[in-house]
């Protein structure tokens, strides 16, 4: 996978145009709704061909520890290209995907969207927070929170695509039996 996933982030990037920020915000809200409604095929359409969708395992290490807090060579929840994402969707679509039936009630809240320019005129680094709730069966409630850093690209057709997504889960021990959603 190389290091292509590290989405650049700077502290003092200039503000982008208000219209652009609005377009990207609407894009992310729509993406969240597609996930809530399990419209996974349409969601996959929002991914660039070279998407790297990465959710590393998070370790609690001391501040003085020189080892990286996260690393591409460590185990991850997701470290996916488009082919892997498609396999996950394919499983969810089977009538024998027991953990999907009755359906999970998904809830994706996206907030703190911050758009920063990159060196390329058609790509932006986009920070956001995601708050996800999954309700299942009678009283199951699974809660996930994460910081996201996306590279969003406008393709020649004008369509926005997610080219990189780095998801920093807040939990070191996943408080859930599974991960039958995307963040």
Partner 1 sequence: MELERIFARSWIFVAHDSQVPNVGDFLTTYVGEDAVIVSRARDNKVHVFINSCSHRGNRVCFAEAGSARRFTCNFHGWSYGLDGALSGVTAEHLYENNPTFDRDKLGLHKARVESYGGMHFANFDPDAPSLADYLGDFRWYLDIILDNDEGGIEFIDGNIKSRLKCNWKFPAENFIGDAYHATWTHSSALLALFGKVPKMHADRSYQVNANGHGWEFGTDFVGNAATLCEPEIVDYLRESEAMFQERLGKMRTRMVGSLSSATVFPNLSFLAGHNTFRTWNPKGPTETELHTWVFLNRNAPDALKEKYRRGVMLTFSPAGVFEMDDGENFEHCTASNAGVVTRRRKLHTGLGLGSEIHHPELKGHVHQNQINEANHRAFYQRWVDLMTAPSWADVPAR
3 state SS of 155: coil
CB of 16 to partner 1, least distance (A): 33
63-122 residues near partner 1, rule: CB under 8 A? 65, 67, 71, 73-80, 84, 87-88, 90-99
Tokens coding 68: 């990286």
- Counting residues that bind partner 1 (by CB under 8 A) gives 41
CA angle 1, 149, 160 (to 5 degrees): 90
User: With binding defined as CB under 8 A, does residue 179 bind partner 1?
Assistant: yes
Distance, in Å, from the CA atom of 3 to the CA atom of 57, rounded to the nearest integer, reads 17
Interface pick for partner 1 out of 11, 14, 60, 156 (rule CB under 8 A): 60
Binding mask 129-158 for partner 1 (x = CB under 8 A): ------------------------------
Choose the binding region for partner 1 from 8-16, 34-42, 56-64, 116-124 (rule: CB under 8 A).
Answer: 56-64
Question: Is the Cβ of residue 43 or residue 78 nearer to partner 1 in the bound state?
Answer: 78
Q: Which residues contact 118 (CB under 8 A, 6 or more apart)?
A: 8, 124, 125, 151
Residue (of 145, 153, 148) closest to 165 by Cα position: 148
Distance, in Å, from the CA atom of 126 to the CA atom of 106, rounded to the nearest integer, reads 23
Buried (b) or exposed (e) across 32-55, using 16+ Cβ within 10 A?
A: bebbbebebeebbebbbeebbbbb
Question: Is the Cβ of residue 14 or residue 62 nearer to partner 1 in the bound state?
Answer: 62
User: With binding defined as CB under 8 A, does residue 61 bind partner 1?
Assistant: yes
Question: Is the Cβ of residue 104 or residue 116 nearer to partner 1 in the bound state?
Answer: 104
Interface pick for partner 1 out of 16, 82, 133, 174 (rule CB under 8 A): 174
Question: Is the Cβ of residue 96 or residue 157 nearer to partner 1 in the bound state?
Answer: 96
User: With binding defined as CB under 8 A, does residue 172 bind partner 1?
Assistant: yes
**To 10 degrees, the CA torsion angle through 101, 171, 21, 89?**
-30
Residues of this chain that interact with partner 1 (CB under 8 A) are 1, 55-57, 59-62, 65, 67, 71, 73-80, 84, 87-88, 90-99, 172-180
């Amino acid at each position: 996978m190389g290091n292509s996933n590290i989405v650049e982030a700077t502290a003092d990037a200039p503000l982008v145009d208000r219209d652009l920020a609005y377009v990207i915000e609407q894009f992310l809200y729509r993406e969240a709704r597609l996930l809530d409604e399990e419209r996974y095929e349409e969601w996959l359409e929002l991914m660039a061909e070279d998407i790297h969708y990465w959710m590393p395992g998070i370790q609690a290490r001391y501040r003085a520890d020189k080892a990286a807090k996260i690393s591409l060579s460590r185990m991850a929840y997701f470290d996916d290209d488009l082919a892997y994402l498609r396999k996950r969707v394919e499983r969810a679509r089977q009538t024998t995907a027991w953990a999907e039936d009755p359906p999970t009630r998904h809830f994706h809240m996206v907030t703190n969207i911050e758009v920063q320019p990159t060196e390329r005129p058609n790509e932006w680094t986009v920070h956001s927070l995601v708050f996800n709730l999954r309700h299942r069966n009678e009283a199951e409630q699974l809660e996930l929170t994460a910081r996201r850093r996306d590279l969003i690209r406008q393709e020649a057709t004008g369509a926005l695509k997610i080219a990189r997504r780095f998801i920093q889960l807040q939990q070191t021990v996943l408080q859930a039996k599974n991960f039958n959603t995307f963040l």
